[in-house]
Amino acid sequence: MQTTKVFSDLLAAYVDPTINIIGLKGSARSSKTTSTLQLLDIIGTKTTKDLLISVVSETMPHLKRGAIRDYKNILGRDNRFNEAAWHDTDKIYSYDKGKIEFFSADQPSKTLGPARDILYCNEGINMKYDVFRQMSIRTTGKIIVDYNPAYEFWMDSKLAHRPDVKIIHSTYLDNDFLSPSQVAEIESNRDTDPEWFNVYGLGLTGSKEGLVVKNWDIVEALPTRNLWKSAYIGVDFGGTAPTTAILLVEALGEIWIHQIAYERGMDNGPLADAIKSQGFGDIETICDAADPFRIRDLRALGINAVKSNNKEIEFGITLMNRWKKHYTATSIETIAENRQYRYPKDEHGNYGQVPIKAHGHAKDAERYVFLNRLSHIASGFDVTVGSSRPRK
């Protein structure tokens, strides 16, 4: 098993009897999650008594794409993953004595349920403190919380000062196994987005000030179609950046947003397939006007694609933030953008009017819809603009 400095620091804190809570504060790709899962696997394997370990993240889609996938990969690399030991419905892996369960922080029956021996909160900054507190008082042993320090949260205000809490700081430079391209991708933000680099490159605490997207939350699913008043898809074509296709639904006086596609190098065929396979092929699709050839090709593939006649950034963001927005839990990359998309700050501490382009690809797709189809509604007029009609 290959381990990093973060694993060594985590192990030292774990075996220290004076430490009850370990905070892994660090940059992207510093190996916080991998190191924690490696340690939990060792504990689960070696325990000689019944032991329950809980791995908790914000939502189940986030767990599936993150900690569960990483955990299976860790065991798979050593040819140790036993399919018979994995209960996919309950998301539990069983060792001889130990068990590791995976559940999301939005499951009250789990967070308020039975006790556990070890608790691991993956990306704890995205959890409410009351949820963490309920789980912590039901944990008899160690607690580990990892996070990118995008802003101060309950770890800083309620826990860090305690003598039984250890904060371990790490950066991508502590991970010797990153490829040169991964390192280059992180470091490319040093000058173009220094605030992002401070948090996700250097692991320093950031601020909520300067974030672009406001007035949003996460929901399990879209409303049923009989409640839809209007629906549109926004598409932003990517080259080296990801191509994004985002569904926006007006229902119950608010906007519901669902990520259809978010992928680098995505051609028109897979993009059209993604839209149609999810049942949205009949919905008008507002596309980045910079690529008329791709719009034409999407039409030939059966997508109701039209160009965005308005790409104004400032007004589009104003419209976006007038609405209460609900993002489906499976819209992982889109939600991540909400937490990273920000305005630049000058040497005097003043924020600019146009956001930094990086980390806003899905936001561009959303903005096309707000500008071209929802601008009058967002201004207070109860009208639906455009030809889209949701399927019954």
Specify if 136 maps to a domain. Answer: yes
What's the token pair of residue 18?
């004076």
Specify if 211 maps to a domain. Answer: no
**pLDDT recorded at residue 288:** 93
**pLDDT recorded at residue 184:** 96
Q: Judge if 186 and 290 occupy the same domain.
A: no
pTM given for the model: 0.91
**pLDDT recorded at residue 347:** 85
Q: Judge if 289 and 189 occupy the same domain.
A: no
C-alpha dihedral, 310 to 313 to 316 to 320, nearest 10°: 150
Specify if 391 maps to a domain. Answer: no
The number of domains in the chain is 2
**pLDDT recorded at residue 376:** 63
CATH number, residue 127? 3.40.50.300
What's the rounded Cα separation, in Å, for the pair 334 and 337?
5
- Describe the strand order of the beta sheet including 98-104 as a list of residue ranges: 86-87, 92-94, 98-104, 51-57, 118-121, 143-147, 21-26, 165-170
Q: Judge if 167 and 260 occupy the same domain.
A: no
10-residue mean pLDDT profile of the chain (392 residues): values are 96 98 98 98 98 98 97 96 97 98 94 95 97 97 98 97 98 97 96 94 96 96 97 95 97 97 96 98 95 96 95 93 97 97 90 92 97 69 35 36
Q: Judge if 192 and 248 occupy the same domain.
A: no
What single string gives the DSSP state of each residue in 313-362?
HHHHHHHHHHS-EEEETT-HHHHHHHTT-B--B-TTS-B-SS--STT-HH
Q: Judge if 117 and 150 occupy the same domain.
A: yes
Q: Judge if 138 and 278 occupy the same domain.
A: no
**pLDDT recorded at residue 311:** 84
Q: Judge if 180 and 277 occupy the same domain.
A: no
**pLDDT recorded at residue 381:** 35
CATH number, residue 292? 3.30.420.280
Specify if 210 maps to a domain. Answer: no
The residue range of the domain holding 335 is 216-378
Classify each residue of 305-315 as buried b or exposed e, where b means 16 or more C-beta atoms within 10 Å of its C-beta: bbbbeebebee
**pLDDT recorded at residue 310:** 87
Q: Judge if 249 and 159 occupy the same domain.
A: no
CB 152 within 8 A of CB 132: no
Q: Judge if 85 and 141 occupy the same domain.
A: yes
Please report, as a single letter, which amino acid is at residue 112.
Answer: L
Q: Specify burial of residue 344 (Cβ count, 10 A radius: 0-12, 13-18, 19+).
A: middle
Q: Judge if 184 and 237 occupy the same domain.
A: no
CB 66 within 8 A of CB 57: yes
**pLDDT recorded at residue 349:** 86
Q: Judge if 26 and 157 occupy the same domain.
A: yes
What's the token pair of residue 202?
């250097």
Q: Judge if 107 and 246 occupy the same domain.
A: no
